[in-house]
């Protein structure tokens, strides 16, 4: 595949033969992948499968050892995120001493595409006081502030690396629902990594399943699942099959 920039390649992610090797070995191998527009993508796989590594390569925070990757037709440079991409990891990069207002001001100063009205709307929806210091907020409220920061940039691709892991089940459900509603309304492609397969059912319409640095399954759920098997079961069955093949 030719990775030079072409109009028809302005897809969120195209990876070809992508690999990342650390001193201990390969974290991601021979990954060829297309993430289409307007999808809510479940990025799943066991611990150490390579999910965070793939996200790091998409953000440009990591450099590939082999192959190449484009994000909306551009090669990630490693000098900051692509303007159309927001990234939220479990450790949310928020300053505890900042108030919510100051946090949004920071978002405005650091993002040329910042939409202050939209960010304030998202904070209002979460009923988080604008004058509260971030360090005094609950885990769920902090996640909502981090999401407002990520979405206020008006991204076309939102990368979420286990962002809900520290929330209770009710808060997880609320945040996930809000997030997905926003993504669908705004036409944002979301790449969401999670170990909780059940909560991705009915939320994600595209699946990328990684195992030991290799892609086992990738595609739209309705195409991968001929007989309507739910996403979680589809992923688990394929992972079990891979483990059995390794043992044989």
Ligand X SMILES: Nc1ncnc2c1ncn2[C@@H]1O[C@H](COP(=O)(O)OP(=O)(O)OP(=O)(O)O)[C@@H](O)[C@H]1O
Residue 100 near residue 152, CB atoms below 8 Å = no
- Site for ligand X contains 45 (CB under 6 A): yes
Nearer to ligand X, 41 or 119 (CB): 41
Range list of H helices, 75-212: 100-110, 116-125, 139-152, 169-186, 197-200
Nearer to ligand X, 57 or 94 (CB): 57
φ, ψ for residue 119, nearest 5 deg: -60, -45
Q: How far is the CB of 45 from ligand X (least distance, A)?
A: 5
What are the Cα distances from residue 86, in Å, to 15, 229, 236? 18, 31, 29
Residue 100 near residue 129, CB atoms below 8 Å = yes
- Tell me which of 14, 18, 35, 49 binds ligand X, using CB under 6 A: 49
Stretch that binds ligand X, among 50-58, 97-105, 163-171, 222-230 (CB under 6 A): 50-58
Q: How far is the CB of 140 from ligand X (least distance, A)?
A: 21
Nearer to ligand X, 141 or 193 (CB): 193
- Site for ligand X contains 53 (CB under 6 A): yes
34: three-class secondary structure by DSSP: strand
Report how far residue 83's alpha carbon sits from residue 153's, in angstroms, rounded to the nearest whole number: 8
Stretch that binds ligand X, among 3-11, 49-57, 81-89, 173-181 (CB under 6 A): 49-57
Nearer to ligand X, 26 or 98 (CB): 26
Nearer to ligand X, 25 or 117 (CB): 25
Nearer to ligand X, 50 or 155 (CB): 50
Q: Which residue is nearest to ligand X (CB)?
A: 27
Beta strands in 25-170 (DSSP E): 25-35, 40-44, 66-70, 85-89, 157-161
User: Among 54, 65, 63, which residue's Cα sits nearest to residue 12?
Assistant: 54
- Site for ligand X contains 47 (CB under 6 A): yes
Subset of 1-30 contacting ligand X (CB under 6 A): 22, 24, 27
Which residues lie across from 219 on neighbouring strands?
A: 207
Q: Which residues sit at the interface with ligand X, rule CB under 6 A?
A: 22, 24, 27, 45, 47-53
């Amino acid at each position: 595949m030719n990775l030079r920039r072409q109009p028809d390649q302005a897809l969120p992610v195209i990876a070809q033969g992508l690999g990342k090797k650390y001193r201990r070995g390969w974290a991601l191998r021979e990954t060829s992948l297309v993430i289409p527009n307007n999808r809510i993508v479940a990025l799943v796989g066991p611990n150490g499968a390579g999910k965070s590594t793939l996200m790091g390569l998409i953000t440009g925070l990591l450099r590939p050892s082999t192959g190449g990757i484009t994000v909306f037709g551009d090669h990630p440079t490693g000098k900051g995120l692509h303007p159309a991409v927001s990234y939220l990891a479990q450790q949310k990069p928020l300053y505890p001493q900042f108030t919510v207002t100051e946090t949004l001001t920071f978002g405005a100063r650091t993002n040329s595409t910042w939409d202050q009205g939209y960010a304030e709307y998202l904070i209002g929806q979460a009923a988080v006081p604008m004058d509260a210091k971030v360090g005094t907020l609950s885990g769920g409220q902090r996640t909502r502030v981090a999401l407002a920061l990520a979405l206020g940039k008006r991204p076309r691709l939102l990368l979420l690396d286990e962002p809900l892991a520290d929330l209770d089940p009710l808060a997880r459900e609320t945040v996930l629902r809000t997030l997905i509603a926003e993504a669908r309304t705004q036409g944002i492609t979301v790449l969401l990594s999670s170990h909780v397969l059940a909560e991705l059912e009915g939320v994600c319409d595209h699946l990328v399943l990684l195992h030991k640095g290799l892609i086992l399954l990738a595609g739209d759920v309705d195409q991968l699942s001929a007989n309507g098997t739910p996403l979680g079961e589809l992923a688990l069955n394929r992972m079990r099959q891979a483990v059995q093949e390794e043992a044989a």
